[in-house]
Chain A
Amino acid sequence: MLEDPALAPNVELARAVVGFALESGAAAAEATFTVSDRFSTEARADRIEKLEQSIARSVTLRVFRNGGKASLTTSDLAPDSLRSFARETVEAAGFVASDPHAGLPDAVEAPADERDLELYAPDVRARAAEDKLADALELERVARHVDSRIVNSTGSRVVDETLAIALANSLGFAGAYRASQAQIGTGPIAEAGGAKYSAQYGSAARSYAALEPVERVAITAAKRAVGAIGARKPATMRCPVIFDRDVASLVLSDLFAAVSAANVAAGNSFLATKTGERIGSELATIVDDGRLPRGLGTSPFDAEGVPTRRTVVFERGVLRTFLYDSYYARRLGAATTGNASGGSIGPNNFYLEAGARTLAELIAATPRGVFVIDTIGFSTESVTGTYSRGARGFLIEGGEIAHAIDEFTIANTLPEMLAGIDAVANDLIFDQPIVAPSFRVAEMTVSGA
């Protein structure tokens, strides 16, 4: 698993920390050493306002003792400090109730394939800082020239990061990999009639080369800000709602919580007893794939060192499985799906499969409805699946955008929304770990005037 010899010292540090835990009486231990080299700049108008650059190092340790588990995360990597905090973590595990399911993965497992996951792009470190600053300034310049009503911005950002992750455990697993990520984005503000209308748009990928062009990002953001001018509150009604892909992705995030085995085990999921049942419409095929080349949720192994894989969660609306780490897999009598993350369960590339139609076709096929491009709030309640969000977007009348709307909420339950997906667009982009193409839900409650 250790392909990159330059990461051998990182693996050694992880092994050493595992050693500290075993010395202190741990029955088993696992350590992850993460090094993140991050660059970030922000421009406003014609000036660079912020420039940040740092290397962050941290160690995460999980220990098991008498069936109890405890964890440590620290940015203090001095050997004495690591040793003493490792000891304290092992002591704390002694206060945790014995749990027969706690522990490392059952065995060291080989990855399912030898595919190159293409996680690291040299252009992220190679690109000159001057060029990154120039991109930030160009985002500002282009966004502010799209329309004379764009008079301000919350800034334009260029951010990148390279990561080196090394993991070792007392079963003998040792692995390491590098990954990279680049992001650009801008937040223009249009002013009209004494009100300010802000918008955000950005692009993210494993390499600079794979980002949307700077000009297109700036123009998309600017059009969103200008498009919101004159927004008014819609009437309260039930109608179809089209989620633009960014907000569609947020709906998938809420759904992820319900398929996480941690929530299922805790009785915190509306899906808890529904495996094998039809929950969603025929169009709802939802997958977690940790091995998608260049995906922002891709990695060779999860936070426990378990090789990632592809798992179909909903197949044409039928719930096939939850997503597990090794602990919840043992507890619920299943097999891990390689979703261990930060001491809990997290997504790899968790996505709704794309449909065949364009977003424009979805809108044209909607006689009367709401097209949502932004939501605020975070009230989804995973026990019942109750969903309610503040929103802004556009009213659709006769298959066309009628006018901008804001200050309203959209509400339904996640199971009814999944069942109500009656059209899915073809605009799926893997620009974050949880993504969805734009889709339409047949009916939701819009609360407005």
Chain B
Amino acid sequence: MHPDAATFERVLTRAIGAADYADAFYERRVVRSFRFQDGRVHDAGINVTSGVGIRVIAGDRSGYAFSDDLSEGALLETARVAALIAHDGGARTAAVHLPASPQRRAALYAAPDGRTRAESATYVDLLARADVAARALDPRVRAVNAFVTDELQEVTIATSEGRFVRDVRPLVALGVQCVAQGNVRGTGFYGDGRRAGIDFFRERTPEEIAREAARVACVNCDAIETPAGEMEVVVGAGSGGVLLHEAVGHGLEGDFNRQGTSLYSGRIGERVASELVTIYDDGDLPGERGSLTVDDEGTPGQHKTLVENGILRGYMHDRHSAAALGASSTGSGRRQSYRVMPQPRMCNTFMPDGGSTYEEIVGSVKRGIFAASFAGGQVEISKGDFVFMLAEGYLIEDGKLTAPLRGASLTGNGPEVMNRVTMVGNDGRLAGRYYTCGKGGQYVPVGVGMPTVKLSSVTVGGSGVA
């Protein structure tokens, strides 16, 4: 079923023709999921993704085709279609050669054997425990939805340059959404997950996750309308890393910089943020949601310094953007599945600790907003304008958190806001909440993290006029 080295060699030899580079990406991914609603198991699902994608690069042109039929005949035809972009003609003399079997780098995550899977009862038990814990936290909790997903993705990457690499990637997630009824209806969502098997939820219990979702829903029951306008904002540790991901990270992805469409294009070595700001992206952390032993082009995951003391140090590259800009791939080539080309993407993006305490930072704000956690965000790459939606937020009055806020969002311009970082906490951590990043219609798991950070002025979007 899995094509062997000789098949990949023939397919890649057909694909490359007179082009510069060709690669094949084999994927088999099985995702099992269960969903809980109204106190019982609501449904179960299995999702199987299986096929091969073939890419051909000639200069700045990329051709792509895929096949869910793994027979050699189908793969050769797929190679022919992918090669249409390099229609300059002229056959290459040398055939592609690969090692006899794919190489495995020492994995960042324990990869269970593809044939073993947990008993369905294991998933059901996790969800039932989450449901009970959420309802037990507070009588205001009215509805609980919970889901668990358990994924195993096996990939093999073969390239015309002779790279032949395999990776087996586990990924689990458990999420709980609660609706609580108080003065207003409040919702809370919380979830966690890692590149690990389902046993991860023995240490990180469903009860912990569910209680956090229920706590946020109950907080939001007393939420008031968010005042609108510019004010001081403190971004909470952990999930505040969404700020780095949106306000800076996307603009440093290699494809936008190859094309010159990012506001950070051509600015390496320039000041792009306050000198308190350092940002890393790391695909090489054991077991984190955004970690990759190798990326989807077979390049090992790496630790990258993106911004150092406010100075732009480097971009995140896949093979294509690296070649165009005379750089090396940073192990950032990722894709949603074999049906799409890889793009430069973030892995785990975070900021190291600074020198202030949480108490000093919040205590320094006379009137502002505390963004405890973000539900998500979005950025426009060229000008750098972003929006973040708060999952949990509070008014700060005289250095203390007061009323919870609903419907709050932050908006501004990436470099402008990063220049307004005036305090950085000593409490940095990766968010204990999982995020999925969407770009060009492709969704991949990522990690984010940050210490508590103070921004001297940001536009807060809400419906209350202060």
Interface residues of B (CB under 8 A from A): 1, 28, 32, 34, 37, 40-51, 60-69, 78, 81, 84-85, 120-121, 123-124, 142-143, 145, 179, 184-187, 226, 228-230, 259-261, 263, 339, 341, 375-383, 385-389, 406-409, 411-413, 459-466
Contacts and interface: CB of A to CB of B under 8 A. Distances in A.
B274 to A, nearest CB: 19
Interface stretch (A164-172, A213-221, A284-292, A377-385): A377-385
A153 B187 CA distance: 40
Interface stretch (A20-28, A83-91, A252-260, A359-367): A83-91
Given A76-B50, A407-B411, A196 B463 contact: no
A416 to B, nearest CB: 9
A56 B66 contact: yes
B229 A197 contact: no
Nearest to B184: A384
Interface of A: 44, 47-54, 56-58, 68-78, 81, 85, 88-89, 91-97, 99, 152-155, 189, 195-198, 233, 236-238, 266-268, 343, 376-379, 381, 383-384, 386-390, 392, 406-413, 444-449
Contacts of B406: 381, 384, 386
A447 B228 contact: yes
Given A89-B46, A390-B409, A409-B411, 9 more contacts: A44-B259, A49-B60, A50-B61, A51-B64, A92-B32, A92-B45, A96-B44, A97-B41, A406-B385
Contacts of A57: 68
Nearest to A93: B44
Contacts of B124: 95
14 contacts: A50-B61, A53-B84, A54-B65, A68-B43, A69-B43, A95-B44, A196-B382, A376-B380, A388-B462, A389-B387, A390-B378, A411-B226, A411-B461, A447-B228
Contact of A96 (B41, B226, B466): B41
A89 B392 CA distance: 38
Contacts of B408: 388
Contacts of A410: 461
Nearest to B408: A388
A49 B62 contact: yes
Given A47-B60, A69-B43, A74 B67 contact: no
Nearest to B457: A449
Contacts of B378: 376-378, 390
B438 to A, nearest CB: 10
A96 B42 contact: yes
A377 B383 contact: no
Contacts of A407: 385, 411-413, 459
B56 to A, nearest CB: 9
Given A75-B68, A195-B263, A390 B411 contact: yes
Nearest to A102: B43
The A contact surface, by secondary structure, is: strand
Contacts of A53: 64-65, 81, 84
B85 A409 contact: no
Given A377-B377, A407-B412, A198 B228 contact: no
A390 B45 contact: no
Name the 5 nearest CB pairs between A and B, nearest first. Answer: A409-B461, A390-B387, A379-B389, A97-B40, A447-B228
Which residue, of B28, B67, B461, has the highest number of chain A Cβ atoms within 10 A?
B461
Contacts of B48: 72-76, 81, 85
Given A70-B44, A75-B49, A447 B462 contact: yes
A233 B460 CA distance: 13
Nearest to B50: A76
A72 B226 CA distance: 43
A409 B465 CA distance: 12
Contacts of A381: 187, 406-407
A52 B64 CA distance: 5
A336 B16 CA distance: 52
Contacts of B63: 50-52
B435 to A, nearest CB: 13
Contacts of A95: 34, 41, 44, 120-121, 123-124
Contacts of B184: 384
The B contact surface, by secondary structure, is: strand
B431 to A, nearest CB: 18
B228 A411 contact: yes
Nearest to B177: A268
Nearest to A199: B382
B427 to A, nearest CB: 26
Contacts of A189: 261, 382
Contacts of A238: 465
A51 B41 CA distance: 44
A88 B413 CA distance: 49
A384 B185 contact: yes
A376 B462 CA distance: 15
A237 B463 CA distance: 10
A136 to B, nearest CB: 12
Nearest to B379: A376
Contacts of A236: 228-230, 465-466
A144 B279 CA distance: 35
B340 to A, nearest CB: 8
A449 B46 contact: no
B20 to A, nearest CB: 14
Contacts of A75: 48-51, 68
Contact of B179 (A383, A388, A445): A383
B230 A449 contact: yes
Contacts of B376: 377-379
A77 B68 contact: yes
B385 A392 contact: yes
A376 B51 CA distance: 34
Contact of B463 (A44, A195, A376, A412): A412
Nearest to B459: A447
B49 A445 contact: no
Contacts of A47: 60-61
A99 to B, nearest CB: 8
B68 A388 contact: no
Nearest to A379: B389
A376 B1 CA distance: 43
Contact of B386 (A77, A78, A233, A390): A390
Given A406-B385, A447-B461, A97 B60 contact: no
Contact of B259 (A68, A71, A97, A152): A152
B44 A388 contact: no
Nearest to A36: B339
Nearest to B55: A52
A72 B31 CA distance: 10
Given A407-B385, A409-B409, A196 B263 contact: yes
Given A53-B65, A411-B228, A448 B43 contact: no
A449 B411 CA distance: 11
Given A197-B382, A383-B185, A267 B228 contact: no
A197 B41 CA distance: 49
A196 B412 CA distance: 15
B380 A71 contact: no
Given A85-B46, A96-B41, A384-B184, A445 B462 contact: yes
Nearest to A59: B48
B145 A266 contact: yes
A48 B87 CA distance: 12
Contact of B37 (A73, A266, A406): A266
Nearest to A448: B459
Given A97-B40, A390-B409, A392-B385, A71 B45 contact: yes
A409 B228 CA distance: 9
Given A54-B78, A379-B375, A389-B387, A97 B42 contact: yes
Which residue, of A91, A195, A390, has the highest number of chain B Cβ atoms within 10 A?
A390
